[in-house]
Amino acid sequence: MDANHKALLRNAISRLVQLTDQDWELLVSHLTYRQLKRGEYWIAEGKKEQQIGFVINGNLRHYYTHDGEEKTTYFYFENHLISSYFSALTGQPSKLTIEALTDCQLIAFPYKVLVSLYDNSHSWERFGRKLAEYLALGLEERMAGLLILTPEERYLHLLQENKKKIIERIPQHLIANYLGITPVSLSRIRRRVSGKK
Amino acid sequence: MDANHKALLRNAISRLVQLTDQDWELLVSHLTYRQLKRGEYWIAEGKKEQQIGFVINGNLRHYYTHDGEEKTTYFYFENHLISSYFSALTGQPSKLTIEALTDCQLIAFPYKVLVSLYDNSHSWERFGRKLAEYLALGLEERMAGLLILTPEERYLHLLQENKKKIIERIPQHLIANYLGITPVSLSRIRRRVSGKK
DNA sequence: CGTTCAGTTGACTAAGGTCAATTCCCGTGG
DNA sequence: CCACGGGAATTGACCTTAGTCAACTGAACG
């Protein structure tokens, strides 16, 4: 395990909670280095493997499959944690798939290690709370966007400064999927908002 | 404060975490009894009042206002906690309104009391984690439903056993709003699925 | 150069939105 | 007991926007 990679993870965690060196040591021996080739899965639908991943670089998408159609709910970039959170929390098989869109480097650790950290340390328990709160805020925003905004408005939101990463780094047909529309419709929306005849 | 009401709250909390009597006492002195008349707000858009409520009886809706249109994201019934969670976590003014659909009885306590409990007790910190995890699971499900399912499929989901409460206790035009469609469209969907000409 | 795949465009369909009229339900007051 | 009023739900006519299917374009890569 590259020390720089570990430092990236520790730094990301410290944005949520201050860990003592002692707290950090509880986790560090369980970390493993992983690589995914483009197109490989971090977790596939129906599986129960409950590893948490931390993205060092690369990007991934998180999607559900329904009636043979894939519906993308999230994209992940470097410095983010990934997991089938629903599956880890409930112990049920994953209903979603996390797929590498590019080659990825990750750090992994088992969800059950995180649970044991919750038991052993108030600081880690706090990390768990902050992580779940962070997720809930993100989900609330995504949910409200789907309910309140039209597909066109959702597309315009992606153009705003803080969201540019998706527009810049994700192919358009996957952006359409994320917006809940077909690539054909996104193409028309783009023409509409560009003002061109 | 009615002892039965307090027992309801303690029981609801104990579904997430086991509290000692000592932990419970940290909260109990901060509890206040509240009533809302039908149509009154627990929290209104733009406000920052950060009280957590626990519904003893009655029901409420949780909605955003966008371009003068109200969009309902949730309904709450007895034995649930209500708050503008986003506002409490971020300290920003609430973007949503929680309105009593019927007369309601509630128990209230300030969000900042909960934060102090997090600091003082690992058990309360765990409660905070479990609460956020519970919320995240609910939000994930609602978000995925909006992305994956058609309005008609979403309506059919509400007819399933565990969701019946909404169909039985909420007027149809608000159900339509919750589904993201107009009352007119819901009426047509109902006719379609009933098979009647 | 072909092959391939993403993106665009056109023609047509399907489903929800809008507006307006009508019916249904229910409570209240004569 | 009945008539009336008001809000909820339904229905009809028409509009708007996304979906579908298919053809075409363009850039990337061998």
Distance B177 CA to D9 C1' (A): 14
End-to-end CA distance of chain B: 55
Residue A191's Cβ-side half-sphere holds a number of Cα atoms within 13 Å equal to: 6
The yes-or-no verdict on residue A196 having pLDDT over 70 is no
CA torsion sign, B181 to B184 to B187 to B193?
Answer: negative
Return the DSSP state at B178.
Answer: H
Q: Residue ranges of the alpha helices (H) in A43-171?
A: 85-90, 111-120, 122-148, 151-158, 164-169
Q: What is the pTM of this model?
A: 0.94
CA distance A151 to B65: 18
Contacts of A75 in chain B (CB under 8 A): none
pLDDT of residue A197: 45
pLDDT of residue B161: 79
pLDDT of residue A194: 78
Return the DSSP state at A77.
Answer: -
B189 CB closer than 7 A to any strand D atom: no
Weakest-pLDDT range from A50-59, A158-167, B29-38 = A158-167
pLDDT digits 0-9 by tens, A126-154: 999 999 999 999 999 999 999 999 999 99
pLDDT of residue B196: 53
Nearest to B126 among A64, A125, A180 (CB): A125
pLDDT digits 0-9 by tens, A74-127: 999 999 999 999 999 999 999 999 999 999 999 999 999 999 999 999 999 999
Please compute the mean of the pLDDT values over residues A34-45 and round it to a whole number: 94
In three-state secondary structure terms, B1 is coil
CA distance A31 to A24: 11
Q: CB B64 to CB A125 under 8 A?
A: no
pLDDT of residue B27: 97
Number of H helices, E strands in chain A: 9, 8
Please compute the mean of the pLDDT values over residues B31-59 and round it to a whole number: 93
In three-state secondary structure terms, A168 is helix
pLDDT of residue A1: 77
The yes-or-no verdict on residue A20 having pLDDT over 80 is yes
pLDDT of residue A195: 65
The yes-or-no verdict on residue A162 having pLDDT over 90 is no
pLDDT digits 0-9 by tens, B118-137: 999 999 999 999 999 999 99
CA distance A101 to A142: 21
Please compute the mean of the pLDDT values over residues B61-80 and round it to a whole number: 94
Contacts of B146 in chain A (CB under 8 A): 143, 146-147, 180
Q: Give residue for tokens 């509890």.
A: B31
Distance A144 CA to D26 C1' (A): 37
> Tokens representing B49?
């009042």
